[in-house]
Chain A
Amino acid sequence: EPEVTQTPSHQVTQMGQEVILRCVPISNHLYFYWYRQILGQKVEFLVSFYNNEISEKSEIFDDQFSVERPDGSNFTLKIRSTKLEDSAMYFCASRKQGTLAKNIQYFGAGTRLSVL
């Protein structure tokens, strides 16, 4: 069964460093998402991406964050200068084109980001 793949599974970085989290969505999907979950808290929406542009972003997704689809298969989340509070599990999700009501979002296993 097709799945969303995320790498790395765990990323440790120093505060102030740039990190890139990588995702390979399901191949025929056209809508892509990033969510994050701080330990013990809710899963929160960060950004949605369609047709090579951001379609919606949350208040969390400030100028330190960016997303890119550099080729036909990868979808990346970049954090320019990491802060301690960016430590969280980051989930990528994708869904296919079609009726909004019927479309399941499929999630990857996540990347745990630890900022020291």
Chain B
Amino acid sequence: KQEVTQIPAALSVPEGENLVLNCSFTDSAIYNLQWFRQDPGKGLTSLLLIQSSQREQTSGRLNASLDKSSGRSTLYIAASQPGDSATYLCAVNTGTASKLTFGTGTRLQVTL
């Protein structure tokens, strides 16, 4: 059974810092990995999708890496801003129905 873990559970950084969020998964037989953002009480916004054959994917200040063989992904956020404050979730896509298995998330707070 696929298990997804995210560390740290919470992170507080001052504005402008670069930061890294970590995601690990137990079964490397994935199709892709998605990073999402969730604001309190809100839905899930897809940030990046990284395919199983890819090592890296970038969107603006965000960069996601994937090491499938070791079951790890990182989300790098450059020059953090207060508007980046949210919970970040990673999810791995497995099975022919391509269901997503989510981690518990990292709650990020960027302070002024």
Contact = CB atoms under 8 A, between A and B. Distances in A.
Nearest to B44: A107
Contact of A33 (B42, B46, B99, B101): B99
> Contact size class for B?
20 to 34
A55 B96 contact: yes
A106 B108 CA distance: 22
Contacts, number: 71
A108 B53 contact: no
B24 interface: no
20 contacts: A31-B98, A42-B105, A43-B91, A43-B100, A43-B102, A44-B102, A48-B98, A50-B97, A55-B96, A56-B99, A100-B32, A101-B32, A101-B51, A102-B32, A103-B98, A105-B93, A105-B98, A107-B36, A109-B43, A110-B43
* Top 5 A-B pairs, shortest CB-CB distance: A56-B97, A109-B43, A48-B97, A107-B44, A43-B102
Interface of A: 31, 33, 35, 41-45, 48, 50, 55-56, 58, 91, 93, 95, 100-110, 112
